[in-house]
Structure 1
Amino acid sequence: MAINLKKGQRISLKKEAPGLTKVMCGLGWDVSESKGLFGLFKANDFDLDASVLCLTNKDKLKSKSDVVYYRNLEHSSGAITHQGDNLTGEGDGDDEQILVDLTRLPDDILKLVFVVNIYKARQRQQSFGQVKNAFVRLVNLNDNKEIARYSLLGEEYGGKTGMILAEVYRDQEEWKMEAVGKGFMVNGLQEITNQYY
């Protein structure tokens, strides 16, 4: 049975899923129709983009190629594959998925930071306060069982346009996961990645 994580909670993936080698990080969200400054906006006017940042032992990115997102769908090592951009968030289940083969990650990558940002948020005057039912979940691809899920409450993130959802990191010889849930005001992915150079 999957663990429902609370903000700041950490789990050992070795303990929860012994022999884990391949995981899928799924992200999902819904947007309710609401009135903005310029009238009614619809759910399909929102475009949330999921990305993963591959960090070294100093919590730094070595290069732009260590950011896997809708314009760079595969890490150079072949260990991480983004399944593509969902422009609307419509439908049930995961809206975007990122696949990770932990055994193929280069030794100097010690942390994977899963982030999401709202595309053109300032231009469209949108924030995570208008997003509901947002979640990040980790699935063991060896048996397709969900290991852990972290659900976010949109009301907590009014005015925030970018968010670190979760981190998967090496701690000595095992992988762990932390539910982060840290929101901030950014104008796109570039402003998120800038803090890691």
Structure 2
Amino acid sequence: MAVNLQKVVGGQRINLRKEQPGLKKLRAEISWDENRFDTGGKHDLDIFAVALQSNGKCREDRDFIVAFGYDDNGNNLAIHPSGAIVHSGDEMSGSKDGADEVISVDFTRVPAHITEMHFIASTNDGVRFGDVRNAKVVLVNDETNEPMYEYDLEENYSTETAILLFKLYLKDGDWRFGAEGKGYNKGVEAFIVEYGLQVG
């Protein structure tokens, strides 16, 4: 089967039910290569998912899905309580072949109160996305392994430290994809507060 990979840019809106009939599960793969400059350093990128209610806020701390860690009750912070969103873990340097970090979404398990999911890419150590080679996100049908959409981070966001990459949102009963492409110069803690949670 030929792969029909669509490049996406900020502002695009796609009805997944119409363009990807039968889609139940997808995964967002972020990949990058090591430091663009020959400084001997390596860059750590992270991708986060945020599950939101209709008011644009999280209902609980575990609606903010990160690469690793456990809460005080021993819950894995990389897995949403519903099982609908799962983070694969953190790759520190971009030295792996293929996808470096993956977040999977199972639409059949999304709770009714969650109407939107935001996906954020963030750098660490004060580096910009322009300092990273070949950074991109690919959305894949998790059942067929067919790539659907691709974001090139390096090309469009060379001065940013964090990017609201895209969102998945319900409209008229259909899950839709929105390519946001909003760049920020702030850390993960600022996003946590913005989504109605407390840091610490």
Q: Say if 2:166 and 2:177, in contact at 8 Å, map to a contact too.
A: yes
TM-score (norm 1): 0.87
For 2:72, the equivalent position in structure 1 comes to none
For 2:132, the equivalent position in structure 1 comes to 131
* 1:43-74 CA distance string (max 9 Å, x none): x2x11111100011111111211011123110
Alignment-mate amino acid for residue 78 of structure 1: G
For 2:175, the equivalent position in structure 1 comes to 175
Alignment-mate amino acid for residue 77 of structure 1: S
- Out of 26, 29, 40, the residue aligned to residue 26 of structure 1 is 29
For 1:60, the equivalent position in structure 2 comes to 57
Shift of 1:91: 2.6
Whole-angstrom CA distance in 2 between matches of 1:23 and 1:143: 9
Equivalenced residues, count: 185
> Mean Cα displacement is larger for which, 107-116 or 85-94?
85-94
Unaligned ranges ≥5, structure 1: none
Q: Say if 1:168 and 1:176, in contact at 8 Å, map to a contact too.
A: yes
RMSD across aligned positions (CA):
1.7
TM-score (norm 2): 0.86
For 1:194, the equivalent position in structure 2 comes to 193
* 1:116-136 CA distance string (max 9 Å, x none): 112332xxxx12221232222
SS in 1 for 2:18: helix
Whole-angstrom CA distance in 2 between matches of 1:73 and 1:93: 20
SS in 1 for 2:114: coil
SS in 1 for 2:189: helix
CA change 1:183–1:143 in 2 (3 A) is same
For 1:76, the equivalent position in structure 2 comes to 81
* 1:66-87 CA distance string (max 9 Å, x none): 0111231100111111011111
- Out of 14, 37, 44, the residue aligned to residue 17 of structure 2 is 14
SS in 2 for 1:153: helix
Alignment-mate amino acid for residue 58 of structure 2: L
Whole-angstrom CA distance in 2 between matches of 1:84 and 1:93: 14
Whole-angstrom CA distance in 2 between matches of 1:64 and 1:33: 35
- Out of 95, 102, 105, the residue aligned to residue 100 of structure 1 is 105
Whole-angstrom CA distance in 2 between matches of 1:20 and 1:33: 36
Q: Say if 2:36 and 2:132, in contact at 8 Å, map to a contact too.
A: no
Q: Say if 1:29 and 1:131, in contact at 8 Å, map to a contact too.
A: yes
Whole-angstrom CA distance in 2 between matches of 1:147 and 1:51: 20
For 2:154, the equivalent position in structure 1 comes to 153
SS in 1 for 2:150: strand
For 2:73, the equivalent position in structure 1 comes to none
Unaligned ranges ≥5, structure 2: 70-76
* 1:102-154 CA distance string (max 9 Å, x none): 11011111111110112332xxxx12221232222211112111121121235
Alignment-mate amino acid for residue 27 of structure 1: I
**Sequence identity, in percent?**
33
Could you say which structure has the higher helix fraction?
1
